Amino acid sequence: MRKSELLIPASSLEVLKTAVLYGADAVYIGGEMYGLRAKAKNFSMEDVKAGVEFAHQHGVKVYITANIVAHNEDLEGIREYFRELKKIGPDALIISDPGVFMIAGEECPDIDRHISTQANSTNYATYNFWYQQGASRVVAARELSLAEIKEIRAQIPEDMEIEAFVHGAMCISHSGRCLLSNYFTGRNANSGECTHPCRWKYAVMEETRPGEYMPVYENERGTYIFNSKDLCMIEYIDQILDAGIDSLKIEGRMKTALYVAAVARTYRKAINDCEESAEKYKANMEYYREEIAKCTYRQFTTGFYFGKTDENSQIYDNNTYIKNYTYIGIVQGHNDKGYALLEQKNKFSVGETIEVMIPDGTNLEVTVKAIEDEDGNPMESAPHPKQMIYVDFGQKIEEGYLLRRKE
């Protein structure tokens, strides 16, 4: 079995550190330009440098997304961007555009180039083409089945890597190259500004019958002709690894640290258990399901991995996210009393029970004994988002550990 990699998204330097602490082998991030998540916080060059240094200190790789479909006016800026990244030294660049790929090779010859899922690589001839051009990895198109990926693995060089999404949002388009957002709102999904129109509510009206809305799919609540479930392959890690996938990728560069910690930690344990023994992996299946359900999610699907989808593969009657836990904050240090310093993310009060997520996969329930502001003044609750506070949990909580509350 090939050595697997768990690849985790990060929307900020804080989330990158969380991903590293909670089990990532590699993280992928976007700079301030040329990635497909324009509304993510993204990284300044200073943050990219700090993130790469932190990750490398912990033996974790960093990949930078530069996977826009580039226009003429983008090219000189992209060239300069790569020159700056060369000084920092990330481990790879994720690219979809052949011109951008060529520029990266010219400006950053020592940095690996990975081919984004946006390039729609659906067959082994395409993989071999990119390998001959100098790519070390291709991210599989979302439309591929595990059987197809296994065949690709058998037909490409041994040292070429396959990366594939195993968890997160699924674009209803050809590997995410959606035209709806640009058409409806003028915001180009292929330049990082997607408005997710696949999750809007739709009905059809015939031009000679104005005001008469006819559902495309019959349902008493309305019609959701494109609305997507979230991909979740936590129950099929053994088949993912057997297909020859090198890097198991989590979607979510706009997700919170809570989401990243929960998903990274659970997939880390599942992969480790599966690589240790099939019996251990199967025995812990209920734990994986329970932990994945503790982060905000929509209904789950296995996407295209087991063949063509049907009417049960997507959601048609609602687009509701399921939220079972609330993000409280991350421990950032301690005061002289041993109280945990954190930037409060959501309101909580003295006396509440909070769950501490331990990176090894266990959880610790603690009670809020006291809350103080930065000046040491007591508080009964922490109602102000982003306020820096000190919290007494009755015991010391390690720096970097994430806190959440069950709803």
- CATH of residue 97's domain is 3.20.20.70
In a shared domain, residues 153 and 282: yes
Query: Which residues 6+ apart lie within 8 Å of 381 measured at CB?
Result: 347, 348, 349, 350, 371
Instruction: Tell me phi and psi for residue 185, to 5 degrees.
Output: -125, -10
Number of neighbouring beta carbons within 10 Å of residue 274? 22
What local confidence, expressed as pLDDT, does residue 364 receive? 97
Range of the domain at 353: 325-406
Q: Are strands 92-95 and 112-115 parallel, antiparallel or unpaired?
A: parallel
**Tokens, residue 379:** 């508080």
Q: How far apart are CA 221 and CA 347, in angstroms?
A: 33
Q: What is the mean pLDDT of the chain?
A: 86
Q: Among the three residues 268, 301, 334, which one is the final residue of a domain in this structure? A: 301
| pLDDT, position 303 | 85
User: Mean per-residue pLDDT for 200-211?
Assistant: 68
Least reliable range by pLDDT among 190-194, 256-260, 355-359: 190-194
CATH of the domain at 387: 2.40.30.10
Quick one: pLDDT band at residue 229, thresholds 50, 70, 90? Answer: confident
Which residue did the predictor score with more confidence, 46 or 195?
46
Q: What is the mean pLDDT of residues 29-48?
A: 72
Nearest to 136 by CA among 155, 118, 162, 117: 162
CB 85, CB 19: distance < 8 Å? no
Which of 267, 301, 335 is a domain's end point?
A: 301
Between 179 and 344, residue with greater pLDDT: 344
* Same domain for 365 and 275: no
CA angle at residue 210 from 207 to 215, to 5 degrees?
85
- pTM for this predicted structure: 0.85
Q: Is the pLDDT of residue 32 over 90?
A: no
The answer as to whether 294 is a domain residue is: yes
Most confident stretch, 149-163, 282-296, 300-314, 373-387: 149-163
Would you give the DSSP letter of residue 162? E
Q: Are residues 46 and 153 in the same domain?
A: yes
115 within 8 A of 130, measured Cβ to Cβ: yes
Domain co-membership, 279 together with 350:
no
Give the three-state DSSP class for 279: helix
Instruction: Answer yes or no: are the C-beta atoms of 308 and 62 closer than 8 Å.
Output: no
| Pairwise CA distance, residues 275 & 3, whole Å | 9
Q: How far apart are CA 233 and CA 140, in angstroms?
A: 15
Between 390 and 296, where is the model more confident? 390
Domain count for the chain:
2
Q: Which pLDDT tens digit goes with each residue over 73-107?
A: 989 999 999 999 999 999 999 999 999 999 999 99
Instruction: Establish if 49 belongs to a structural domain.
Output: yes
Q: Pick left, alpha or beta for residue 38 (phi over 0 → left; psi -120 to 50 → alpha; otherwise beta).
A: alpha
Residue 21 domain flag = yes
What value does the mean pLDDT take over residues 27-47?
A: 73
